[in-house]
A and B are shown apart, each in its own frame.
Chain A
Amino acid sequence: MSEIARDLLQEAASEIMARAAIEIPRDYRDGIRGMLGQEQHELSRFVLEAMLENWEAAEADRRAMCADTGVPRFYVKAGNEARPEGGFVALEEAIRSATAEATRSVPLRPNRVHPLWRTDHDNNVGINAPEIEYSFEPDADWIELTTVHKGGLFGTDYRMLFPADGMDGIKRFFLDTLVQFGRRGLACQPAIVGIGLGGSKDTSMTLGKQAACLRPVGEPNPDPGIAKLEAELKELGNNIGMGPMGFVGSSMVIDCHVEVGYTHTGGMPMSVHCFCLSSRRATARVHAGGGVEYRSDPRWFTPYMRRETVGWQAPLARTA
């Protein structure tokens, strides 16, 4: 079994940092074009048209689409058979090096500072930065690196709901978050709204963020019941009379993604996350043989990740 070269991993990590910052994912751009077809209000239309023009300028100039290049983070999906050269410690060093290097070369805004002392290394690297989250995939020898550049200030909230709150509770909290951050456009909507339902508090936050950042526009959850909820929430969000920048309009939710985790029998924790008009994500699959493939769909939520049963190879049949 061949190792995946450290230099290749760093090169791929640098490349996706630049791609994420500069190239709007096609699923997101096409979704905005679709919303422009529906939007009736002049100010809201003006904003969407300006964004389409902005993305063209970014790609033509090879310039970041938004100067708030967020707090860059990484998602690593490692094939069960994958062996990074130098191990995972070397992989993390490659990712940190690529973050510092891309911050200078793209350039990105060096947003990361110490929370108390505001110490700034001007390279987006520091204590617990960039975040690196891991998942695994059976029967694979590649490593996939995904970077997400998401702003860190507005558009996210968490709440502990309870089973008796039901769908009303979910809908209300969804609206609360959209309205509180939608006014004046602090959520930089239309957003891909990611919702984490269940798990522990931290799991619900993590799942919601991943749902917003790692699933493309137009891809529903494979569970038909959850897909129906996603569609209902999207419809609800686009009917509060609010559009981009909080102007009167109908373009609020470009898509809604819900991810779930088994939770405490007495609770229903929920998180809501808005991935913005600069929904920046890029993925590289780095093969053991040396090739690298780039794409904008992270394909993070695999059947393996959403598994419900004890084993994976022979999942038990679902009982009615």
Chain B
Amino acid sequence: MAGAARTHRLSTPVSPEALRELSIGDIVYLDGVIYTGREGLYRRMVDEGMAPPVDLGALSNVNFHCSPAASVAEDGSLNLGAVTATASFRFSRFMERFFELSGAKVIVGKGGMSETDYRELFVPNGAVYLTTVGYGTGALLGRGVTRVQAAHWLEDLGIAQAVWVLEVSRFGPLLVESDLAGNSLFERENRATAEAVERAYAGLRPPSLSRYGETVSRGDEVL
């Protein structure tokens, strides 16, 4: 790593100036309001053209790829326990349109997306990706939620896919996975580990039967 990681506390909506300060590998804590949204929200907004259940842009510019461990009591009150992100790479195809519709500038999730996605989708929208740590620090992130404002579409989409609006304080730790230039912490680390991974395989004979898909040609046999 180039120098020790810096720690930032960002308030929502996160300003463009604050985003410019972030470098990959920095530690971030969030204060303010964030909302959860994953394929349930994205399918409706992007594929079906439905309006979101609330004006997302007015709420916050931080979208969290998350399903909380939560339950709904008989009287309708919400009990939120642990909070952990879900893997973000699955949502790549929704992001371009979602950025346009929501005005989101910060995506919080698990595992990041590809550097190509950052360059083509995030950079033009002035957005960054923050990854949760572990995974997952569900109890620490749960502690960072001070109040549940609402759980929209709870009836239709269920607890996991509902849009949870969360008031947060010192919500983290999160790591900067992509910055405004589209650099990726994960891809930097992948490149750094590639050589040692190759070395680990040295001298190990490949199995006699391949698996379909290990070759790049669909005409190849696995034998």
Q: Which A positions have Cβ atoms within 8 angstroms of B? A: 21, 42-43, 46-47, 50-51, 53-55, 57-58, 61, 63-69, 103-111, 113, 120, 122, 153-154, 159-162, 164-166, 168-169, 171-173, 175, 179, 183-186, 188, 236, 239-242, 244-248, 276-278
- B1 adjacent to chain A (CB < 8 Å): yes
Known interface pairs A65-B138, A109-B68, A241-B197; 7 further A-B residue pairs with C-beta atoms within 8 A, sorted by A's residue number: A46-B27, A46-B173, A58-B138, A61-B143, A65-B139, A68-B135, A161-B207
Query: Count of A-B contacts with CB under 8 A?
Result: 202
Give chain A residues whose Cβ lies under 8 Å from the Cβ of B209: 160-162
> How far apart are the CA atoms of A179 and B83 in the complex, in Å?
27
Decide: A120 near B158, CB < 8 A? Known: A42-B1, A61-B143. yes
Tell whether, in the assembled complex, residue B158 and residue A54 are in contact, meaning their CB atoms are under 8 Å apart: no
Tell yes or no: B18 within 8 A of A by CB. no
Contact B87 A153 (CB under 8 A): yes
Q: Verify A67–B84 contact, CB threshold 8 A.
A: yes
A-binding segment of B47-55, B92-100, B187-195: B187-195
Do residues A107 and B139 form an inter-chain contact, with CB atoms below 8 A?
A: no
CA distance A110 to B161 in the complex (A): 11
Within 8 A of A (CB), among B66-91: 66-72, 79-84, 86-87
Q: How far is the CA of A53 from the CA of B140 in the complex (A)?
A: 8
Q: Confirm or deny: B37 has a beta carbon within 8 angstroms of a beta carbon on chain A.
A: no
Query: A240 contacts B200, CB within 8 Å?
Result: yes
Q: Assuming the A-B contacts A57-B139, A64-B138, A248-B192, are A69 and B211 also in contact, with contact meaning beta carbons closer than 8 angstroms in the complex?
A: no
Q: B-side binding surface: helix, strand, loop or mixed?
A: mixed
In the complex formed, the residue of A with least CB distance to B80 is A107
Bound complex: CA of A61 vs CA of B141, how far in Å? 12
| A56 closest partner in B (C-beta) | B139
Complex Cα gap A159–B201 (Å): 17
A60 to chain B minimum Cβ distance, whole angstroms, is: 8
A-chain residues with CB within 8 Å of residue B196 when the two chains form the complex: 239-242
Is B207 a contact partner of A51 (Cβ separation < 8 A)?
no
Given A50-B133, A122-B159, decide whether A58 and B82 contact each other with a Cβ distance below 8 A: yes
Residue of B nearest to A164 (CB): B208
**Contact (Cβ within 8 A) B139 A239:** no
